[in-house]
Amino acid sequence: MRFAILMIGGILLFQTLPVSAGTFFETFDNFNLKDWEEVNERNAPAGEWRGINGVLHAESKDNAIRMLVIKDAAWHDYEVELDVMPLAKDGRGHIVLAARVNQTHAIVFAIGNIFWNAPAPIVSGFIFRLNIGRRVGLPLILVKIQDLFNGRPQGEIVDELLQVGVVTDICTTVLPHPFLERGKWTQLKLRVVDKTFMFSVNGEVVLYLTCLFDSFVFLEEDLNVGSVGFGLAGYTARFDNLKITGEDVPNHGNLSVQPQGKLTVTWGQIKSEQ
């Protein structure tokens, strides 16, 4: 099943963006929050976001997702690239990239231990209801699975499933994936084309998701357009080189520093700056 999903995702990868596409760059060289707003799970207290040596240092030391979201953006199809370096795992630990963010919901892609202390970390894609911190759809799926297994403890069943993956047709997918390596830069990429979403790590497609929004009666707002966000939970991490390309995306900023220029920062330098 996973192979078929990634094959479909690979086909999507080779589709080109429109010639008229704009590009939004943020290199965090002179970063300020005027173009951003913080969106937190269950209205959690603000996290820490600050520029250090041309990168964005972020801290979210409990298990609530904290994201920075671009203000006043309502985009449909686009591609997002972002570099991230986890430094310390302060909780369950997950790094997130979000698409179609509005006032109530977001489509979130996460790597880490996002649900509970499962036996292995995962990569997951799901609709996230921001104000209550609920992963829409997944609890119902797990209850149905439990019924099929004749009353076995739900935690035991779920632990087994996370080791092989869960793929559904309601915009929720979970697959095994290791934690991102601490002290090392990793590139995340998210490609959004209408109702399809493809998530890649260091150039490898790790998750492909289809969301049939029109059939979701629980949605209070249209999820066909929205903003872009990124963030973390239970981690201290650094972010760099955000690039968003799409037909509706305005030109913003410049990629003034080549990615490899900042990737030469050593682990020793990072520790000394904290």
Maximum average pLDDT range among 5-9, 150-154, 232-236? 232-236
The closest of 66, 34, 25 to 237, measured between CA atoms, is 66
pLDDT at 30: 86
* Confidence tier at 138 by pLDDT (50, 70, 90): low
The residue to which tokens 């911190």 are assigned: 133
Distance between CA 151 and CA 143 in Å, rounded?
10
Question: How much is the average pLDDT of 211-240?
Answer: 82
* Burial status of residue 196 (CB atoms within 10 A of its CB: 0-12, 13-18, 19 or more): middle
The closest of 131, 237, 152, 222 to 188, measured between CA atoms, is 237
pLDDT at 193: 94
pLDDT in tens, 3-36: 344 444 444 444 555 556 899 999 999 888 888 9
pLDDT in tens, 244-260: 999 889 998 865 444 44
pLDDT at 258: 46
Mapped to the 3 state alphabet, what secondary structure does the chain carry? CHHHHHHHHHHHHCCCCCCCCEEEEECCCCCCHHHEEEEEHHHCCCCEEEEECCEEEEEECCCCCEEEEECCCCECCEEEEEEEEEEEEEEEEEEEEEEEECCCEEEEEEEECCCCCCCCCEEEEEEEECCCCEEECHHHHHHHHHHHCCCCCHHHHHHHHHHHCEECCCCCEEEECCCCCCCCCEEEEEEEECCEEEEEECCEEEEEEECCHHHCCCCCCCCCCEEEEEEEEEEEEEEEEEEEEECCCCCECCCCCCHHHHCCCCHHHHHHHC
pLDDT in tens, 160-176: 555 555 555 567 777 88
Reply yes or no on whether the pLDDT at 198 is more than 50.
yes
Reply yes or no on whether the pLDDT at 66 is more than 50.
yes
% residues pLDDT > 70 (the chain): 66
pLDDT at 26: 95
Question: How much is the average pLDDT of 191-200?
Answer: 93
Instruction: State residue 21 phi and psi, 5-degree precision.
Output: -60, 140
Question: How much is the average pLDDT of 114-129?
Answer: 73
pLDDT at 128: 85
Average pLDDT score over the chain: 77
Distance between CA 123 and CA 237 in Å, rounded?
18
CA dist list (Å): 83 to 28, 116, 185: 11, 26, 6
- Would you kindly state where each structural domain of the chain is located, as residue ranges? 2-267
pLDDT at 211: 81
Give the CATH class of 2-267.
mainly beta
CA dist list (Å): 128 to 116, 125, 212: 16, 9, 15
Question: How much is the average pLDDT of 136-164?
Answer: 53
